[in-house]
Amino acid sequence: MSLTVAVVGGLHGDARKAAVARLLADVPGSVVLHHDLATAAAGTVVRTVRDRTGLLNTGETPLVNDCACCALREDLVPELLRLADDAAVRLAVVELWDSVEPKAMAEVITAGGLTVSSVITAVDPALVLPYLGNGDDLADVGLAAAATDQRTVADTFARQLEYAPVLAVAESPEADDEDRELLAQLHPTARRIPIGHGTPAGPAAPSEAHTCPRSPLARAALAGFDVEAAAAAQHPACALLPVEADDHGVSTLVWHHRRPFHPERLYAALEDLTCAAARSRGRFWLADRPDALLHWDAAGGALCVERAGPWLAALPDAAWELVPPVRRAAAALAWHPEHGDRCNHLVFTSPALDRDGLAHLLDSCLLTDTEYAAGREAWQQLPSAFDTLLEV
């Protein structure tokens, strides 16, 4: 039977370990491959391979360019290929170290010629809001994957959560309806599978060794995964963003507008907008940069604004053939006769969200009727307030 690979990650360590234990118990012939980046200070990454009975082998790999995550990348595929040569191994569960993000690892595995059957992020619902609100640098809490790692706890957790199509949700006595609703609104398309912290089910009987796995999580781990589709779902031009919702004290505001932002007014409002919600993301355009698709990504009280390439409406027709079909389709669904795919599409999710106040603030940052009527040449003469933020 050919080897498939399930990637299990997440900053919630206890939940991640519970998910991995469930897979070992319920998928015959499964092993877990884990790289411990906590040993990077000593110059190495420690690799372990285990099955449900215990440790099978261990080894070390040196850092690459002072980067523990780079060492993981270089060691991961050779180890998986070695496991693939063992006919007894049916599923390799790659348990990611705390701050390692699943997107990069899934793409490395696929590029190495192996089949990723699932990406699962394990979550404790009671910890979702505290982690989204944690603006600490990973380096300050001992979770940096490289000397140059500038990520925060909040933005790392958000990407881990939103990339995975399957969430393994730990049983948590501290979690309430608001916590579970926040998780549901942050990633409404994810399949949420409950897992426990107790002892997993016993080993399969010999007659069950090659039958279907017994738990929903085990079946999800073998269900299949499309790396290209997962990447497209995260790209700001065609991301599958959350929808409007309001339940159990948690709200999601979807704010969509075709008129561009006035750069100075939006810049002046950034702090208030960033702090208005536990999580916000999306795409937007500025009047003085009509061809630039800008990515909005905020968590933990910090905002990252980046260029995500040009809007399709800014490209010559000949260049469209170079654009992935999923992006062309997304643009066509909401094409505007004047602005094409240019739009502001921002989504804010949080408990106690001031929806009306937030929408009013966003509206106030748009061009006024008079400014809009002045036309694109006049827009491009507006002060470029975002030069420093975009590192022009």
Q: What is the pLDDT of residues 177-208, one digit of tens each?
A: 999 999 999 999 999 999 974 444 444 444 34
Judge contact between 62 and 43, C-beta under 8 A: yes
Question: Looking at the predicted structure, is the pLDDT value of residue 282 above 90?
Answer: yes
Give the tens place of pLDDT for each residue, 286-328: 999 999 999 999 999 999 999 999 999 999 988 988 888 888 8
In angstroms, the Cα distances linking 91 to 117, 128, 271, 344 are 9, 29, 46, 43
Please give the residue that has the higher pLDDT: either 6 or 236: 6
Question: Looking at the predicted structure, is the pLDDT value of residue 231 above 80?
Answer: yes
Would you state the pLDDT for residue 382? 95
Give the tens place of pLDDT for each residue, 6-34: 999 999 999 999 999 999 999 999 999 99
Look up residue 175 and give its two tokens. Answer: 């979690």
Please give the residue that has the higher pLDDT: either 389 or 131: 131
Would you state the pLDDT for residue 213? 57
Would you state the pLDDT for residue 203? 44
Would you state the pLDDT for residue 208? 42
> What's the average model confidence in pLDDT over 74-86?
94
Please give the residue that has the higher pLDDT: either 276 or 233: 276
Q: How confident is the model at residue 211 (pLDDT cuts 50, 70, 90)?
A: very low
Would you state the pLDDT for residue 320? 87
Would you state the pLDDT for residue 101? 95
Q: Report pTM.
A: 0.91
Domains present along the chain, CATH in parentheses: 4-232 (3.40.50), 245-379 (3.30.1220.10)
Look up residue 329 and give its two tokens. Answer: 């389709």
- Comparing 119-123, 146-150, 243-247, 269-273, the range with the smallest average pLDDT is 146-150
| CA distance linking residue 198 with residue 228, whole number of Å | 36
Would you state the pLDDT for residue 212? 53
Q: How confident is the model at residue 234 (pLDDT cuts 50, 70, 90)?
A: confident
